Amino acid sequence: MATADSWKKVPLHSTQLCEGVATNTMAREWRCKWSEENEKMSLTQCQKVLDNIIVPQLREVHGLSSVQRVVCGDCQDFKVICKMGLDAFDDWASVNFSPEAEVIEALLAIEGISKIETQTYSIMPVLSAGRH
């Protein structure tokens, strides 16, 4: 049953990237490398950026379907993936993926953080619960 907020979660349009490759969702990724120093304090600070800047500011972004965090202990990656339907992605891009500038500024201020990068890509589930 659809709710009043269903439009925020379900991408309505799709696009064909090439023959046999379609997408209806895009992602913006913010990532950096953290350090083992000071009992992984830089990783702790990255989590605070997620909790205190990213989540509160993205909570009401039109079309946002999910925010995921990826942490790799082997390669010391910290990644935040913001996923949304095509319907809203261009709107978000037009405001420079806000709060991206604030996120990058906060990450730059953390001792032990390096290789801060951003990337945009299409993202689609291939196999998940309810998808065969």
pLDDT in tens, 29-46: 999 999 999 999 999 999
Q: Give exposure, 34-49, as e/b (b: 16+ Cβ within 10 Å).
A: beeeeebebbebbeeb
| Paired tokens of 12 | 């309505």
pLDDT band of 130, cuts 50, 70, 90? low
Report residue 79: phi and psi, to 5°. -130, 145
Q: What is the pLDDT of residues 54-101, one digit of tens each?
A: 999 999 898 999 999 999 999 999 999 999 988 899 999 999 999 999
